[in-house]
């Protein structure tokens, strides 16, 4: 380990690896450390042995579950909006050359005890039982308004100031029914609760526009997913950093951060001789490395389940997302189910990985997943985690320690990349401009061997 760097990045989660790659491309000398022996942090994808080691106290998996090498199971399940910020980031950095993507085959929503497919085409919309005929007409006018709405063109606003008008008032203008509002807000705009209804409508309109622009890319669902699991994403950005001179160290002998008399970070102390302190100008880290500099924001409970069958009602889709809106189960936040199969290269043929997750609201978190778990049918193996979520106490500009926020219960990476963009601007003093390029084609890859 050399003794002087511009930046030390601690943790190899997706946010940290994105920033490591971006800062290396900017010409900074980066040292990237992780106390673990694998890439990915909370975004890691584990094989079956690692799952049992982490969640079952080292017990051995049943050989009937299949080969260890066939499993790449996400700890934190998330999909990628096909026209969203993470795709823009991947294209901007050209990390797409390391990855292969596949579109998620279907999106579903739970209503009145049943699973319904979220329409992906006009034909599906006409046949969908989610709305009656008259409501479909009203909803069509609402979606047409949103599709035609341009923030910079007042002629498309119909006299509505969406920077001030609450979203509930915009819904009311189109006379949409409560069930439709729930469907739009939770299955399309992907809000976790109903607090958005009293907020300015512009944010929701942007989210609905993003959903439909993403859906138009591949016509199955708005979501993409990297083959072999989300753990491929941080490794892709790690390769980018290494190409530009970044240094990586797993199982790093980290002891403690070192601060100067002015309170600013000056380095990281390790047990490695002859350079026990790696010096730096600033540090980027996930919350676990600086517990005194973060505050707890809540908890997320997740159940990783191995199945030998698809979820009933979604048999036509090899991979799915199912959203259970909060009011359907008398909760304050939604329940999410991500289901993937061998088509996504995350498990053996004939097996499915279903991950049920939600924001913890009670003293019995596991019971909060029961509605979602009941939809799965017979579960062959189950791994449960209850994870604290954290946010930094300060923005990092005073002590030069820039800490990311924990991953929330959302099913996509938009909030993740928003955090990265904000951190990049605070670190460098300049905005990150994402250059538009061609979108990746589904099922294609230009994977290289990397450094």
Average pLDDT of the chain? 90
pLDDT bracket for residue 299 (50, 70, 90): very high
Q: List the structure tokens of 25.
A: 């491309």
The residue written with tokens 């996509």 in the block is 412
Question: In whole angstroms, what separates CA 247 from the centre of its chain?
Answer: 26
Q: Stretch 399-408: mean pLDDT, rounded?
A: 93
d(CA 61, CA 50): 10
Q: Is the pLDDT at 445 greater than 60, yes or no?
A: no
d(CA 209, CA 147): 6
User: How many CA atoms, within 13 angstroms, populate the side-chain half-sphere of residue 198?
Assistant: 3
Q: Is the pLDDT at 411 greater than 80, yes or no?
A: no
Q: Is the pLDDT at 268 greater than 90, yes or no?
A: yes
pLDDT per position as a tens digit, 30-79: 999 998 887 788 888 999 999 999 999 889 999 999 999 999 999 888 89
d(CA 95, CA 155): 39
More confident residue, 92 or 50: 50
d(CA 281, CA 267): 8
Q: Is the pLDDT at 439 greater than 80, yes or no?
A: no
The domain defined by 119-218 folds into: Guanine Nucleotide Dissociation Inhibitor; domain 1 (1.10.405)
d(CA 361, CA 304): 19
pLDDT of the residue at 446: 38
Q: Are 231 and 43 in contact (CB under 8 A)?
A: yes
Q: Stretch 355-369: mean pLDDT, rounded?
A: 96
Q: Please choose, from the candidates 260, 215, 230, 219, the residue with its C-alpha nearest in 3D space to the C-alpha of residue 340.
A: 230
pLDDT of the residue at 74: 92
pLDDT of the residue at 2: 58
Q: Are 400 and 282 in contact (CB under 8 A)?
A: yes
SS3 for 75?
Answer: coil
Q: Strands of 261-342 (E only): list them.
A: 265-270, 277-279, 282-285, 294-307, 320-324, 335-341
| DSSP assignments along 113-165, one per residue | TEEEEPP-SHHHHHH-TTS-HHHHHHHHHHHHHHHH--TT-GGGSTT--TTTS
Q: Please choose, from the candidates 391, 324, 385, 327, the residue with its C-alpha nearest in 3D space to the C-alpha of residue 360.
A: 385
Q: List the structure tokens of 122.
A: 């006009």
pLDDT bracket for residue 440 (50, 70, 90): low
pLDDT of the residue at 393: 97
For 7-44+231-295+391-428, the fitting CATH number among 3.50.50.60, 3.30.420.10, 3.30.70.1560, 3.40.1190.20 is 3.50.50.60
pLDDT per position as a tens digit, 131-146: 998 999 999 999 999 9
**H-only helix segments in 185-313:** 201-218, 232-243
More confident residue, 76 or 289: 289
pLDDT bracket for residue 361 (50, 70, 90): very high
More confident residue, 107 or 447: 107
pLDDT of the residue at 279: 93
More confident residue, 3 or 420: 420
N- to C-terminal Cα separation, the chain: 18
pTM for the model:
0.88
Of all helices (H) and strands (E), which one includes residue 15?
Answer: helix 14-25
Q: Is the pLDDT at 378 greater than 70, yes or no?
A: yes
pLDDT bracket for residue 447 (50, 70, 90): very low
Q: Where are the domains of the chain?
A: 7-44+231-295+391-428, 119-218
Q: Are 255 and 270 in contact (CB under 8 A)?
A: yes
pLDDT per position as a tens digit, 198-230: 999 999 999 999 999 999 888 788 999 999 999
Q: List the structure tokens of 440.
A: 């990746």
Q: Is the pLDDT at 410 greater than 80, yes or no?
A: no
Q: Stretch 417-440: mean pLDDT, rounded?
A: 84
**H-only helix segments in 219-292:** 232-243
More confident residue, 412 or 227: 227
pLDDT bracket for residue 449 (50, 70, 90): very low
Q: Is the pLDDT at 324 greater than 60, yes or no?
A: yes
More confident residue, 450 or 391: 391
More confident residue, 414 or 136: 136
Q: Stretch 247-270: mean pLDDT, rounded?
A: 91
Q: Is the pLDDT at 441 greater than 80, yes or no?
A: no
In the sheet with 106-111, reading across from the earlier edge strand, the strands are 114-117, 106-111, 320-324, 335-341, 352-359, 294-307, 381-392
Q: Which of 75-79, 120-124, 274-278 shows the highest mean pLDDT?
A: 75-79
């Amino acid at each position: 380990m050399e003794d002087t760097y511009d930046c030390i990045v601690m943790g190899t989660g997706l946010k940290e690896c994105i920033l490591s790659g971006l800062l290396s491309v900017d010409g900074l000398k980066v040292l990237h450390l992780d106390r673990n022996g694998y890439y990915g942090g909370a975004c890691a994808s584990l094989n079956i042995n690692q799952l049992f080691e982490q969640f079952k106290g080292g017990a051995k998996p049943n050989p009937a579950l299949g080969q260890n090498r066939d499993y790449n199971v996400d700890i934190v399940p998330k999909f990628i909006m096909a026209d969203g910020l993470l795709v823009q980031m991947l294209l901007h950095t050209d990390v797409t050359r390391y990855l292969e993507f596949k579109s998620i085959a279907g999106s579903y929503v739970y209503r009145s005890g049943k699973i319904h497919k979220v329409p992906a085409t006009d034909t599906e919309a006409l046949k969908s039982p989610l709305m009656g005929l008259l409501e479909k007409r009203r909803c069509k006018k609402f979606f047409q308004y949103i599709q035609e709405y341009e923030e910079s063109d007042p002629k498309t606003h119909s006299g509505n100031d969406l920077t001030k008008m609450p979203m509930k008032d915009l819904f009311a203008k189109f006379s949409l029914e409560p069930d439709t509002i729930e469907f739009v807000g939770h299955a399309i705009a992907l809000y976790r609760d109903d607090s958005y209804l009293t907020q300015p409508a512009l944010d929701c309109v942007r989210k609905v526009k993003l959903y439909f622009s993403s859906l138009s890319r591949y016509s199955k669902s708005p979501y993409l997913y990297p083959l072999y699991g989300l753990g491929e994403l941080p490794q892709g950005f790690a390769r980018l950093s290494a190409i530009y001179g970044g240094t990586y160290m797993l199982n790093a002998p980290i002891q403690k951060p070192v601060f100067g008399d002015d309170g600013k970070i000056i380095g990281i102390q390790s047990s490695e001789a002859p350079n026990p302190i790696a010096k730096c100008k600033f540090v980027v880290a996930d919350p676990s490395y600086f517990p005194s500099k973060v505050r707890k924001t809540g908890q997320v409970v997740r159940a990783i389940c191995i199945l030998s069958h698809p979820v009933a009602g979604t048999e036509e889709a090899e991979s799915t997302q199912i959203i259970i809106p909060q009011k359907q189960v008398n909760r304050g936040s939604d329940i999410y189910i991500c289901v993937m199969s061998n088509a996504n290269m995350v498990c053996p043929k004939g097996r499915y990985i279903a991950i049920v997750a939600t924001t913890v609201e009670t003293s019995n978190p596991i019971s909060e997943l029961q509605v979602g778990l009941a939809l799965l049918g017979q579960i062959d193996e189950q791994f449960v985690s209850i994870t604290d979520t954290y946010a930094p106490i300060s923005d990092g500009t005073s002590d030069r320690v820039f800490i990311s926020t924990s991953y929330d219960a959302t099913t996509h990476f938009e909030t993740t990349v928003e955090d990265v963009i904000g951190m990049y601007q605070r670190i460098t003093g300049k905005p990150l401009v994402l250059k538009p390029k061609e979108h990746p084609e589904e099922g294609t890859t230009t994977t290289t061997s990397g450094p």
